[in-house]
Amino acid sequence: MEYTNLGKTREKVSRIGLGAWQFSEAWGVTEYMQAKSVVSKAVELGINFFDTAMVYGLGLSEDLLGRALRELGVRRDEVFVTTKIPGDFLNPLDVYRSVEKSVEVLGLGYIDGLLAHWPPCWHNVPTRVYARALERLVDLGRVRYLGLSNFPIELVESFRSSLSKHDVEIFQVRYNLAERWADEEVVPYAERHGITIQAWSPLAKGALTGKYTLESLPKFTDVRAREAVFHPENFDGVWRLVQLLKSIGERYGRTPAQVALNWLITASPVVVPIPGAKAPEQVVELANSVGWRLSYSDWRALDELSRRVAISYSAYYLDYKPQQV
Ligand SMILES: NC(=O)c1ccc[n+]([C@@H]2O[C@H](COP(=O)([O-])OP(=O)(O)OC[C@H]3O[C@@H](n4cnc5c(N)ncnc54)[C@H](OP(=O)(O)O)[C@@H]3O)[C@@H](O)[C@H]2O)c1
């Protein structure tokens, strides 16, 4: 396994992490033993960077992940777990209450990385108010490092300027070969300020693995039922990417998923993909996406093709046929 430093700290985190949203009804892994087998394989292969969130199964994901790490006997200081507090909980009362609950549910004594999951769009809590509350949690030892997920840079700046002693060490954003908005602002900002980016949906929710085809796109019953990358209008471009991932992968003896993840880590030294896995076999494949690098020309070929893939997020809405015209 390859490792890198987290943000500006000396914390050693694996160059590929593991997302745990899969441990919830949204993705279907709700049995403890199944979740444990996934975490166990990750630990065995040297993955020490795990991500969960309060809203994943409303506690179930934190519960299954924390319990698995405890039962596997992993040394506390050899694992780094991020969890996320939703934008709806960012008033100071809910910050303290929910973080206390999260510490209890995870059962790991403290939180390594706490990220605001998204900005508080419903309650208009001023940035400086929740920034100060989150910083206090670091002072009080409940949380070790702070991060922001799905925040525009304007708000990141405002958040950072509200902190007095600590800084943002982690970003979490959607970043995959088919959806590269993070390239515009977030990646250069993170590189400049020494912030680790946890790339979420790095496989475009499985679309880049090559196992779903336009002809046999499943009717997803999980969280992907209305996922933009799987809309036929968008999947065409995704499929062209998959073909190139396949042909490049064949030369390296790698799968499309491994090439897609390697493209991300080759793109930037601060990017750490956090793919989700539902089975140990998937973890093995994901873990082997690091420890090697794509050549410059292969990286560029994917870069160029992916720039021509445009994902429309309004596609499902545009399908709607008004009852009366
Ligand atoms: N901050 C945020 O707002 C945010 C949002 C989304 C996700 N996240 C985090 O990012 C993590 C990953 O994102 P994600 O789950 O949305 O998408 P993802 O990692 O792009 O896709 C995960 C899915 O791909 C399939 N897959 C994984 N490994 C595979 C393999 N080796 N071979 C074939 N298929 C494989 C699995 O589904 P199937 O086997 O069913 O196809 C799996 O559930 C989450 O667990 C979560 O921690 C954060």
| 51 within 8 A of 198, measured Cβ to Cβ | yes
pLDDT tens for each residue of 49-77 = 999 999 999 999 999 999 999 999 999 99
* Closest to 114 (Cα-Cα) out of 32, 170, 177, 57: 170
Asked if residue 196 belongs to a domain, the reply is yes
Is residue 94 situated within a structural domain?
yes
If one counts the domains in the chain, the total is: 1
Rounded CA separation 99/54 (Å): 9
170 Cβ closer than 6 Å to some ligand 1 atom: no
- If one residue of 173, 272, 278, 284 were mutated to test the ligand 1 pocket, choosing by the most ligand atoms within 8 A of its CB, it would be 278
- The mean per-residue pLDDT over the stretch 15-40 comes to 97
The pLDDT tens digits for 266-276 are 999 999 999 99
Please check whether residue 42 lies inside any domain of the structure.
Answer: yes
Does any domain span residue 301? Answer: no
Rounded CA separation 98/140 (Å):
15
The verdict on residue 314 lying in a domain is no
**Which residue range(s) make up the domain with 73?**
3-204+255-294
Q: Which residues of 63-79 are buried (b: 16+ CB within 10 A; e: fewer)?
A: bbbbbbbeeeebeeeeb
- pLDDT value of residue 55: 98
Q: What is the pLDDT of residue 218?
A: 83
Q: How confident is the model at residue 99 (pLDDT cuts 50, 70, 90)?
A: very high
Start-to-end C-alpha separation, the chain: 58
Characterize the bridge pairing of strands 168-174 and 196-200.
parallel
pLDDT tens per residue across span 104-154 = 999 999 999 999 999 999 888 999 999 999 999 999 999 999 999 999 999
Mean pLDDT rounded to a whole number for the chain? 97
Task: Report whether residue 205 contacts ligand 1, using a CB cutoff of 6 Å.
Answer: yes
What tens digit of pLDDT does each residue of 211-239 get? 999 888 888 989 998 999 999 999 999 99
| Cβ of residue 21 lying under 6 Å from some atom of ligand 1 | yes
Q: Is the CB of 278 under 6 A from ligand 1?
A: yes
pLDDT digits (tens, 9 = 90+) for 290-315: 999 999 999 999 999 999 999 999 99
CATH number at residue 199: 3.20.20.100
pLDDT of residue 186: 98
Q: Which atom of ligand 1 is nearest to the CA of 27?
A: 43
**Does residue 109 fall inside a structural domain?**
yes
pLDDT higher than 80, residue 325: no
Distance 204 CA to ligand 1 centre (A): 7
In a domain, 229, yes or no: no
Q: Which residues pair with 81 in a beta bridge?
A: 50
Neighbours of 131 (CB within 10 A): 23
Answer whether residue 81 is part of any domain: yes
